[in-house]
Structure 1
């Protein structure tokens, strides 16, 4: 479960968290980064003898060739494993900037591509040893890490710099006014945020990494974290004869996540057909859970199309968080309706109230009724300079809502899911916003 690697694990007071990987959720409840304890799994060698079947995980091996006609895969030690049905869930690897790749071995030694448990452990250790860290990237991962390290910096005096080409944090996702507000929030966390920063040249001199920007600015730092997106892992496409989407990346599959009659793909590596929103590829925790479950069901004959809209969430510390669904792209027209926040409108308060720290809808499976209670107070669009306490942002394409962000509004995702599933044209989105009860005390 990767999300805590850039969120809760950094906010733990327990020094042993690096080893145990047990973290406290915002509501104080403890949870492991692993979905199942080791006892849940059986040994691969014993799998065929287990009375009721089971799940076996083979670690330290890599599939290097896939024989689709022969229904078998070859591992990097030349072992072959046969299958009746196969699910590809290879995920992805973090992208790097070409300018960093060309910068040489010394810069590479002072650069982290953040993705795995080892990366968290390594970065946590580095954050205690250096004086300055620079995060390149203004998306989900970059902004979450910036806030986590910024909070840590207040205690240790670590200098935390975040730089990205956009005009504000989450600039590709949030409308401009909300992106600006988020940038100020990250700055308040103790981060030196550098906007419209395009990295031109990187070198290692006098024990420091020197970053030269296109506009002439120069930054000297001890360590770089590159958080600039993900490349889906599709190495098996060639040997398996599977199609890779030229625009979105990932293995092309149908709405049932099927690539061939007996091959399915789930998670980051799947470029799937969403029967409501068209062809998509999604890189979020909830989608990995939802698509994995759907593929599993379809492998047993369920024949279900992908219509459950997976959600995703991002927390900038325990006080500001948002949940989103559908296509949220700042290049689309948006309508935002906001209300004044109360102390309970935070990720921390929401998890305390619900008693669960699970933010993944796929784990709770709540469903919206056809008639969500409407608020009597009229929502309003905030004036410039106001605090965006809590609200709903609608993303519109061809007069239809295709994406929704719930800003410091929690436990309302089933309503958002239903609006997107219905796919209706709305004359007044202020009226639709009333369904979310954002004005209740």
Structure 2
């Protein structure tokens, strides 16, 4: 079948939000044409598996990673297709290959680009965002060499745990004084870091990569206020930057992502946005942009339905989660290690609920090895104005 140059619905981006946007469209419109323009080399897939289950669960195999978007929705997916500009007035998109694709309605689901290290890119210097990045890192890990992970956030810590559990000599370089001190209170952060130390990870904190050199023998990392570190390979786990460059000059308002209203509409007619790139008004927590899978899936579906005429507000407050060694946690709202925290441990550092307070009011809830309680956490945040510190103890079990 020849590629179409017009779609009733055009999805720009090829991640998990793109998948659920197509499925959301199909809930209300069984026949409208759907196009997906993706820079990736793979059709949409379950991204969290790249730093979690594919490394730690032998029963989770590669064939469980693809989402089957095209088969489920009939969407025409163009891979390795980069968008140069969106022109809402003309309802057209320009690709970097010089093609013009027109649409009836469009949704921007471009997600984020990984932050890169100040080193020349190459087979031993990897970003980490895509399935292809996973395949490249897995090939390096299978050699059981010495690999550095740079970054102490969600992706960095998950990758360090994944590598060391697969027999790799692992170095974790991060800017904090303790791993996790930006999101956990001091005692929990110390416990969290100790999990890495006990597993054999070499933890180098309080520094950042400022340069280095790539040679035939490996990679030298030059660190701020620290001796250089030599490894066989290095992977960046420094997070992402929302991909909004293509919106320049489009009339779409950009401010820490793409600003959308409660129905995920941008400032341009017939253009919506969803997922990591969307800065939206959360019904409980206010204006925010969220870079986690629950939001990507739920917001994508809501955007797709609204493209197809649902006209409904996005009312979901997302949660996020991480699995590292024996620590598994879910959270809703804002986790900030500098905030006042009410700790309600059933067993210290094993099972408990932590409430993050700003000006005395709960703004985030951390569920540490506590399950099926994200709705209860949302209720706490929704009623933050009426809850005292004493009200929080024992509230979620």
Q: Note if contact 2:152-2:180 (Cα within 8 Å) is conserved in structure 1.
A: yes
List per-residue Cα deviations over 1:226-262 (Å, max 9, x = no partner): 11110111122114221211xxx21111222211331
Q: Note if contact 1:163-1:197 (Cα within 8 Å) is conserved in structure 2.
A: yes
Q: Which one of the candidate residues 135, 146, 150 is aligned to 1:132?
A: 146
**Partner of residue 36, structure 1:** 68
Q: Note if contact 1:311-1:325 (Cα within 8 Å) is conserved in structure 2.
A: yes
Residue 333 of structure 1: CA displacement? 1.9
Q: Note if contact 1:151-1:190 (Cα within 8 Å) is conserved in structure 2.
A: no
**Partner of residue 436, structure 1:** 396
Which structure 2 residue ranges, 5 or more long, are not aligned?
A: 1-45
Residue 336 of structure 1: CA displacement? 1.3
**Partner of residue 221, structure 1:** 231
Q: Note if contact 1:149-1:160 (Cα within 8 Å) is conserved in structure 2.
A: yes
**Partner of residue 211, structure 1:** 221
Residue 327 of structure 1: CA displacement? 1.5
**RMSD of the alignment, in Å?**
2.0
Q: Which has the larger radius of gyration?
A: 1
Q: Secondary structure at the match of 1:305?
A: coil
Counterparts of 1:160-171 in structure 2 under 5 Å?
160-171=170-181
**Partner of residue 77, structure 1:** 97
Residue 344 of structure 2 is aligned to residue 323 of structure 1:
no
Runs of 4+ residues deviating >4 angstroms? none
Higher relative contact order (CA 8 A, sep 6+): 2
Counterparts of 1:98-247 in structure 2 under 5 Å?
99-100=118-119, 104=120, 108-153=122-167, 158-204=168-214, 207-245=217-255
List per-residue Cα deviations over 1:32-86 (Å, max 9, x = no partner): 12233653243xxxxxxxxxxxx33232322222221111222333333222221
Residue 252 of structure 2 is aligned to residue 252 of structure 1:
no
Q: Note if contact 1:326-1:402 (Cα within 8 Å) is conserved in structure 2.
A: yes
Q: TM-score scaled to structure 2, two decimals?
A: 0.83
Residue 325 of structure 1: CA displacement? 0.7
Q: Which one of the candidate residues 307, 319, 322 is aligned to 1:311?
A: 319
Q: Note if contact 1:136-1:225 (Cα within 8 Å) is conserved in structure 2.
A: yes
Structure 1 residues 195 and 409, CA gap change in structure 2 (3 angstroms): same
Structure 1 range deviating more: 204-213 or 273-282? 204-213
Structure 1 residues 75 and 215, CA gap change in structure 2 (3 angstroms): closer
**Partner of residue 51, structure 1:** none
Residue 282 of structure 1: CA displacement? 0.8
**Partner of residue 21, structure 1:** 62
Q: Note if contact 1:165-1:195 (Cα within 8 Å) is conserved in structure 2.
A: yes
Q: Which one of the candidate residues 336, 341, 344 is aligned to 2:343?
A: 336
Q: Note if contact 2:88-2:269 (Cα within 8 Å) is conserved in structure 1.
A: no
Q: Note if contact 2:152-2:174 (Cα within 8 Å) is conserved in structure 1.
A: yes
Structure-1 separation of matches of 2:250 and 2:312: 24
Q: Note if contact 1:73-1:81 (Cα within 8 Å) is conserved in structure 2.
A: yes
Residue 208 of structure 1: CA displacement? 2.8
Which structure 1 residue ranges, 5 or more long, are not aligned?
A: 23-31, 43-54, 341-386
Q: Which one of the candidate residues 363, 377, 380 is aligned to 1:402?
A: 363
Residue 125 of structure 1: CA displacement? 0.8
**Partner of residue 42, structure 2:** none
Q: Secondary structure at the match of 2:182?
A: coil
Residue 272 of structure 2 is aligned to residue 272 of structure 1:
no
